[in-house]
Amino acid sequence: MSLAEIKGRIDKAATSAGRSANDICLIAVSKVQPNARVESVLNEGHRSFGENRVQEAASKWPDFRKSYDSIDLHIIGPLQSNKVRQAMSLAQSIHTLDRPKMAQAVARIAQEDGHCPDLFVQVNIGEEPQKAGILPTEADAFIVQARALDLPIKGLMCIPPVDEEPALHFALLGKIAARNGLNGLSMGMSSDFETAIALGATHIRVGSAIFGDRVPG
Ligand SMILES: *Cc1c(COP(=O)(O)O)cnc(C)c1O
């Protein structure tokens, strides 16, 4: 599907939710996509992109930045502790703040560097054992803790269980954000971004619907 078609769908979903499409950031998830596909989206003027691996982001985006201005890079995948510093220097936003130890590491590096990307707390919204993220019942306390470290928490992020109705999970994420005074909601992917927009998403992470199927390797 073309970028223009996706934007059309975003406009439509925003309008029917009584929202402005300008309040929704489309993150084009470019992981594992050939550079030519990414460049064609850059050439259409799009600037917000998402990567889930730091190594891959580091191999692509510093080069793209030489040719394209104002790239807005989002790290959306789990971060090992030894990758936090690199992620913070590469990206404008990190969507996967998912544990107290990482919050402490980010705070320490931010102090040293005098700079911190925007942060989203990943919530394990379906309480799935194999998934990263703060449990919904622990989110309020974690947000308090992160704020005490002066971290710039912009919002919450979730990946709902694949085999469940995403709307209930999106609604819960919105509730947790609202009661903590957070505006940012990073939720919704290729298959469910319209539902996410209806439930308040401010950042949608769309990969295959824009770029086509991911080509492995
Ligand atoms: C890959 C990925 C996406 C995009 O998935 P699509 O289904 O291709 O849109 C969104 N969020 C995260 C965290 C991802 O890893």
Centre of ligand 1 from the C-alpha of residue 209, in Å: 10
- Length of the chain, in residues: 217
The residues with which 73 forms a beta bridge, in sequence order, are 49
**Which residue's C-alpha comes closest to atom 7 of ligand 1?**
190
* Structural domain boundaries in the chain: 3-211
pLDDT at 1: 81
pLDDT at 172: 98
- In this prediction, residues 153-164 reach a mean pLDDT of 97
Residue 199 has pLDDT above 90, yes or no: yes
Cβ 29 under 6 angstroms from ligand 1: yes
pLDDT at 96: 98
**Which residue's C-alpha comes closest to atom 13 of ligand 1?**
76
Measured from the CA of 209, which atom of ligand 1 is nearest? 9
Residues 6+ apart with CB under 8 A from 180: 139, 140, 143
Centre of ligand 1 from the C-alpha of residue 114, in Å: 30
Residue 171 has pLDDT above 60, yes or no: yes
Residues 6+ apart with CB under 8 A from 3: 28, 41, 44, 46, 210
Residue 215 has pLDDT above 70, yes or no: no
Can you tell me the distance from the alpha carbon of 131 to that of 125, in angstroms, rounded to the nearest whole number?
A: 9
* Share above pLDDT 70 across residues of the chain, in percent, rounded to a whole number: 99
Q: Which amino acid is at 66?
A: K
- In this prediction, residues 187-208 reach a mean pLDDT of 98
pLDDT at 213: 83
Do the Cβ atoms of 190 and 207 come closer than 8 Å? yes
pLDDT at 194: 98
Question: DSSP letters along 167-216, please?
Answer: HHHHHHHHHHHHHTT--EEE---TTTHHHHHHTT-SEEEE-HHHH-SPPP
pTM over 0.85: yes
**Which tens digit of pLDDT belongs to each residue from 62-112?**
999 999 999 999 999 999 999 999 999 999 999 999 999 999 999 999 999
Residue 216 has pLDDT above 70, yes or no: no
- In this prediction, residues 34-60 reach a mean pLDDT of 97
Cβ 117 under 6 angstroms from ligand 1: no
* Share above pLDDT 90 across residues of the chain, in percent, rounded to a whole number: 96
Strand, helix or coil for residue 7: helix
- In this prediction, residues 119-142 reach a mean pLDDT of 98
Measured from the CA of 189, which atom of ligand 1 is nearest? 9
Given the candidates 3.20.20.10, 3.30.300.30, 3.40.50.10490, 2.60.40.1080, the CATH classification of the domain at 3-211 is: 3.20.20.10
- CA neighbor of 29 nearest in space, from 194, 191, 154: 191
Residue 60 has pLDDT above 80, yes or no: yes
